């Protein structure tokens, strides 16, 4: 009887001991977005009151958990600073998050070129690691897990940036954090959620794929392979969906190599993916991405799939608040799908963010992208977006520049540069109709803006 009474006592007393569970990324060492009303959520005793006490504020935030035990709150964050604490109280239970910084938070995602790290013998990171020790940078590495249904949590928490925690972390993510921390002089939080060899369909919510016949058809092209999932939406479900709502300044993306086989649908897919992420966050955050590098995809001569995928990426610039880093000049070996110069890729992405998000004055901080052309006699005049200064050639002549008449037979072209315009012609072509520049899988052309950023490959035709 005494034993039964004890069990009953515990049963009836249980509601007094309210639970507190937080997503793993609400942890010690985290960074919260500055000057914002950040979302903060978790699970407490169903129907019970939850008190949230941030140490930077005199106010206590009071919310009630729903019948499903979830609570949602908004915390007003100050200007950059810290370290701070957040105390969460539910009934007699108390949880304290420590060593929190307020600053700028960015999400990095994509496939292996975003994931590449010291673990992949990337020399830039190996050389950097002995000097890495910056408590104003915090890293959140999301584990590679795929699920067929959206998840509410991940298995990872924030870490201070040290030689140990940066070892294995995205090189691009780390170098972005380093530059932003230096130039902004505020704490930086970088979330790395990337997985090598994965197409963009895996990072897109299922409903957007299933409601579009073209996207669904292309998604079904991807076959099972060792070491990675093969179903659309599975990485969105496990590696992005749990984070949706965690306030971020924006996203950096490096992916596309795994979609060259279905290049024709990539602009639609990528634009849809960006839209879906913004809808999940309820935020029109900036989205900056890398155009895939030159690589020998063994494409047929008449269907250069890498070039066609790059063209699709350039078309995605029609999506508001996007920008693209071009890296045709950062490739030591076109037979290696993983270019090793990640630090310069990070610099180009960072410079875009510094100019467009943080209002750092800069001219021509993005690569020129083809805008339009007009035929003038035996010449074609090319105009570019994102180009205020002059074009420049590194070398004797522009490489990978071709012109054609209506025979569709392209021949090497001559050119003149008139400040920010490219004038293309050939004595062999009397009535030109089209120009192509760098439009092959492996082209590494030598036309740049006067800040040394390469012009994005393009074609004026749709042949």
Instruction: Over range 110-125, report the average pLDDT.
Output: 98
Residue 15 pLDDT > 90, yes or no? no
Rounded Cα gap, residues 115 and 437, in angstroms: 30
Instruction: Over range 178-200, report the average pLDDT.
Output: 98
pLDDT of res. 18: 52
Residue 13 pLDDT > 90, yes or no? no
The string of DSSP letters for 58-116 reads SPPEEEE--TTSEEEEEEE--SSEEEEEEEEEETTEEEEEEEEEEEEEEEEEESHHHH-
Q: List strands edge to edge, sheet with 369-376.
A: 369-376, 379-385, 421-425, 414-418
SS3 readout for 176-214: HHHHHHHHHCCCEEEEEEECCCCCHHHHCCHHHHHCCHH
pLDDT of res. 26: 98
- Of 382 and 9, the one with more pLDDT: 382
State the chain's mean pLDDT as an integer: 95
Residue 14 pLDDT > 90, yes or no? no
Per-residue pLDDT reduced to its tens digit, 31-77: 999 999 999 999 999 999 999 999 999 999 999 999 999 999 999 99
Instruction: Over range 89-96, report the average pLDDT.
Output: 94
Instruction: Over range 239-267, report the average pLDDT.
Output: 98
**What are the chain's domains?**
17-100 (2.60.40.10), 102-356 (3.40.50.1110), 369-459 (2.60.40)
pLDDT of res. 84: 98
The pTM (predicted TM-score) of the whole model is 0.95
pLDDT of res. 224: 86
pLDDT of res. 222: 92
Distances in Å between the Cα of 39 and the Cα atoms of 211, 353, 399 are 30, 23, 51
pLDDT of res. 7: 34
Instruction: Over range 137-147, report the average pLDDT.
Output: 98
Per-residue pLDDT reduced to its tens digit, 296-307: 999 999 999 999
């Amino acid at each position: 009887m005494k034993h039964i009474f004890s069990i009953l006592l515990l049963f009836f007393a249980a509601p007094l001991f309210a639970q507190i569970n937080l997503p793993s990324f609400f942890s010690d060492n985290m960074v919260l977005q500055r000057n914002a009303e950040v979302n903060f959520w978790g699970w407490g005793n169903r129907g019970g009151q939850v008190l949230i006490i941030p140490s930077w504020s005199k106010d206590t935030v009071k919310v009630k958990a729903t019948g499903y035990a979830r609570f949602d709150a908004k915390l007003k964050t100050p200007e950059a600073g810290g370290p701070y604490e957040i105390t969460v109280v539910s009934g007699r239970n108390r949880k304290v998050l420590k060593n929190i910084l307020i600053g700028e938070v960015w999400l990095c995602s994509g496939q292996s070129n975003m994931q590449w790290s010291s673990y992949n013998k990337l020399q830039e990171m190996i050389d950097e690691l002995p000097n890495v020790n910056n408590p104003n940078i915090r890293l959140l590495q999301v584990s590679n897990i795929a699920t067929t249904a959206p998840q509410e949590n991940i298995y990872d928490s924030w870490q201070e940036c040290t030689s140990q925690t940066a070892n294995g972390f995205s090189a691009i993510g780390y170098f972005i954090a380093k530059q932003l921390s230096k130039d902004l002089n505020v704490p930086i939080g970088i979330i790395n959620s990337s997985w090598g060899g994965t197409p963009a369909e895996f990072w897109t919510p299922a409903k957007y794929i299933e409601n579009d016949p073209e996207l669904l058809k292309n998604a079904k092209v991807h076959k099972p392979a060792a070491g990675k999932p093969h179903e659309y939406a599975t990485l969105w479900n496990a590696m992005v969906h749990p984070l949706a709502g965690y306030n971020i300044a924006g996203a950096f993306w490096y992916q596309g190599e795994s979609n060259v086989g279905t290049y024709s649908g990539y602009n639609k897919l990528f634009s849809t993916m960006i839209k879906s992420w913004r809808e999940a966050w309820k935020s029109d955050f900036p989205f900056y991405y890398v155009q895939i590098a030159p690589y020998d995809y063994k494409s047929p001569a008449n269907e250069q799939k890498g070039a066609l995928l790059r063209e699709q990426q350039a078309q995605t610039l029609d999506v508001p608040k996007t920008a693209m880093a071009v890296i045709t000049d950062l490739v030591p070996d076109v037979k290696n799908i993983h270019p090793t110069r990640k630090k310069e890729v990070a610099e180009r992405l960072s410079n875009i963010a510094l100019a467009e998000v943080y209002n750092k004055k800069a001219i021509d901080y993005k690569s020129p992208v083809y805008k339009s052309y007009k035929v003038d006699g035996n010449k074609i005049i090319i105009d570019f977006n994102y180009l205020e200064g002059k074009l420049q050639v590194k070398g004797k002549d522009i490489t990978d520049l071709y012109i054609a008449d209506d025979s569709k037979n392209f021949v090497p072209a001559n050119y003149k540069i008139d400040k920010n315009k490219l004038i293309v012609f050939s004595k062999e072509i009397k009535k030109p109709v089209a120009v192509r520049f760098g439009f092959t899988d492996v082209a590494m052309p030598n036309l740049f803006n006067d800040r040394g950023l390469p012009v994005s490959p393009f074609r004026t035709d749709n042949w």
